[in-house]
């Protein structure tokens, strides 16, 4: 891993107010012209605006967590950057079933903060937040709620999806990646206090270092066999890379219908029999295959090859694709998390895709990264036109020999009116 720096240089394209504090907790400053009481909650129908100009950073001698606000249109629009940080990956948590939208988002948020507290985190240290809501109306309520819970300038990168949830009566699901307040020297896990049949682990924390992103592996067999096959393929690939089950930090399951998630979890329990089960996140997708599962793991020392910040791996017998790589190994402790970006303007799917990729290019450049340094991408699309637009635009930007690990998921909505696709990404700076 590269030598860690002890200071942050403000990102050039934003006229920044940098609020610096130790991870132990010091006072933070609000962005210019946006005192806490002046912040206005936005609905999920707000139109994402052009880049704004505030950032905040949490800084210690060995760890950097930086939040860069790129728009005033709600908490989705921040980029986060970490360096030298251990990371916590949580399970998906839910609010009380059958409650109204407000009680469900409040309950889910309370459960998420409880999980983070157990893992020695607080909400200021959330790097990425994933929000799944069953309807556009529920998502609008969640959006308004979340716009009020983060301190100004400390909003994480957020991705919003409209999709049914796996438990009856549940309308909201949340999961997060965050920075704990304590260093760790091994992967640790916290058992779920209230198992729900979909998870046995609340969170997993990994030491500062590299990560491994596995693209989603779909299987067209009937459930539950499809889940068993997908898991076997992931674990065999991990083993080939000298990663163990103990290195796995989170599984992300795309399943249809969502109510079959319990079947998938039963196969997860079998696959990890006698081993610690990682946290799991569920999203209903619309596809010909009943399930796809992607995975993130800690990069073990045995898996490191060379000094490049990214290593792109396709298993033997798998033909490389210019659109995605089966596995990307991140061999640096510097990460950039981009939120679920949507087009700033409504329009045809190809125009939306072009606008999103223009935003991505600008944001990557602002963080010292580029199209050759993408580690993980997730594309959420709502119809065939949006899916085709993603397929058409990727070759125009990606280096064909090093595309990111990726999943493309057809869902019911992306959280913004008149938008049919969103893209979130994880990248590393050029040079690591």
pLDDT digits (tens, 9 = 90+) for 2-47: 432 222 232 332 323 233 333 333 322 232 233 322 323 333 344 5
pLDDT at 196: 86
Contact 112, 119 (CB under 8 A): no
Cα 133–chain centre separation = 16
Contact 124, 58 (CB under 8 A): yes
Contact 6, 37 (CB under 8 A): no
Question: Residue 66: beta bridge partners?
Answer: 57, 81
Confidence of residue 431 (pLDDT cuts 50, 70, 90): confident
Q: What is the rounded average pLDDT of the residues 62-86? A: 84
pLDDT at 75: 53
pLDDT in tens, 121-146: 999 999 999 999 999 999 999 999 99
Pairing of strands 248-255, 280-284: parallel
pLDDT in tens, 225-261: 999 999 999 999 999 999 999 999 999 999 999 999 9
Topology at the third CATH level for domain 333-432: 60s Ribosomal Protein L30; Chain: A; (3.30.1330)
Burial class (CB in 10 A: 0-12, 13-18, 19+), 278: buried
pLDDT in tens, 271-291: 999 899 999 999 999 999 999
Structure tokens at 245: 């089950």
Which residue has better confidence, 108 or 52?
108
The count of other CB atoms within 10 Å of the CB of residue 289 is 18
- Provide the 8-state DSSP code for 432: -
Q: Which residue has the tokens 């057809």?
A: 410
pLDDT in tens, 345-392: 999 999 999 999 999 999 999 999 999 999 999 999 999 999 999 999
The candidate with the shortest Cα–Cα distance to 157, out of 312, 378, 407, is 378
pLDDT at 14: 31
- Phi, psi angle pair for 424, to nearest 5°: -120, 155
Question: Residue 79: beta bridge partners?
Answer: 68
What does the alpha-carbon distance between residue 140 and residue 145 come to, in Å, rounded to a whole number?
A: 9
pLDDT at 20: 30
What does the alpha-carbon distance between residue 190 and residue 19 come to, in Å, rounded to a whole number?
A: 32
pTM: 0.88
| Whole-number average pLDDT of the chain | 87
CA angle 135, 136, 137 (to 5 degrees): 90
pLDDT at 74: 55
Helix (H) or strand (E) holding 139: helix 136-149
pLDDT at 251: 98
Contact 172, 144 (CB under 8 A): no
Beta-strand (E) ranges in 382-420? 405-410
Pairing of strands 157-162, 126-133: parallel
Answer whether residue 71 shows pLDDT above 80.
no
pLDDT at 70: 87
Widest Cα–Cα separation across the chain: 58
Answer whether residue 159 shows pLDDT above 80.
yes
Cα 171–chain centre separation = 20
pLDDT at 76: 54
Structure tokens at 26: 């010091």
Q: Number of helices (H) and strands (E), helices first, in the chain?
A: 6, 21
């Amino acid at each position: 891993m590269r030598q860690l720096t002890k200071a942050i240089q403000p990102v050039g394209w934003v006229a920044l107010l940098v609020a610096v504090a130790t991870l132990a907790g010091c006072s933070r400053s609000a962005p210019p012209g946006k005192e806490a009481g002046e912040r206005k909650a936005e609905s999920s129908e707000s139109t994402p605006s052009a880049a704004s100009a505030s950032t905040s950073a949490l800084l210690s001698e060995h760890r950097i967590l930086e939040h860069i606000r790129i728009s005033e249109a709600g908490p989705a629009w921040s980029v986060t950057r970490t360096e030298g940080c251990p990371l916590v990956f949580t399970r998906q948590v839910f609010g009380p079933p059958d409650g109204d939208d407000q009680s469900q988002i409040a309950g889910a948020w309370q459960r998420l903060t409880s999980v983070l507290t157990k893992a020695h985190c607080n909400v200021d240290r959330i790097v990425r937040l994933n929000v799944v809501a069953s309807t556009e109306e529920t998502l609008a309520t969640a959006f308004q709620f979340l716009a009020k819970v983060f301190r100004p300038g400390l909003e994480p990168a957020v991705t919003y999806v409209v999709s049914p949830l796996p438990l009856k009566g549940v309308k909201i699901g949340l999961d997060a990646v965050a920075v704990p307040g304590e260093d760790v020297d091994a992967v640790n896990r916290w058992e779920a206090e209230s198992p729900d049949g979909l998870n046995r682990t609340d969170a997993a924390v990994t030491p500062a270092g590299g990560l491994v992103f596995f693209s989603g592996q779909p299987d067209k067999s009937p459930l539950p066999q499809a889940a068993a096959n997908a898991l076997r393929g992931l674990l065999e690939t991990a083993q080939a890379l000298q990663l163990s089950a103990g290195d796995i930090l989170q599984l992300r399951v795309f399943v249809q219908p969502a109510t079959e998630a319990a079947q998938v979890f039963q196969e997860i329990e079998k696959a990890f029999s006698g081993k610690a089960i990682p946290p799991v996140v569920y999203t209903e997708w619309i596809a010909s295959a009943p399930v796809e599962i992607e995975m993130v793991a800690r990069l073990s020392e045995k898996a490191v090859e060379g000094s490049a910040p990214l290593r792109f791996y396709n298993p033997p017998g798998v033909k490389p694709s210019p659109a995605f790589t089966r596995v990307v190994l991140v061999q640096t402790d510097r990460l950039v998390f981009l939120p679920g970006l949507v087009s700033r303007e409504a329009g045809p799917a190809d125009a939306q895709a072009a606008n999103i990729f223009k935003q991505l290019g600008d944001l990557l450049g602002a963080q010292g990264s580029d199209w050759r340094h993408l580690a993980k991408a997730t594309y959420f699309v709502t119809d065939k036109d949006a899916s085709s637009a993603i397929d058409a635009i990727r070759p125009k930007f990606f280096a064909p020999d090093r595309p990111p690990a990726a999943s493309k998921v057809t869902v019911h909505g992306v959280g913004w009116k008149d938008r049919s696709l969103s893209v979130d990404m994880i990248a590393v700076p050029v040079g690591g």
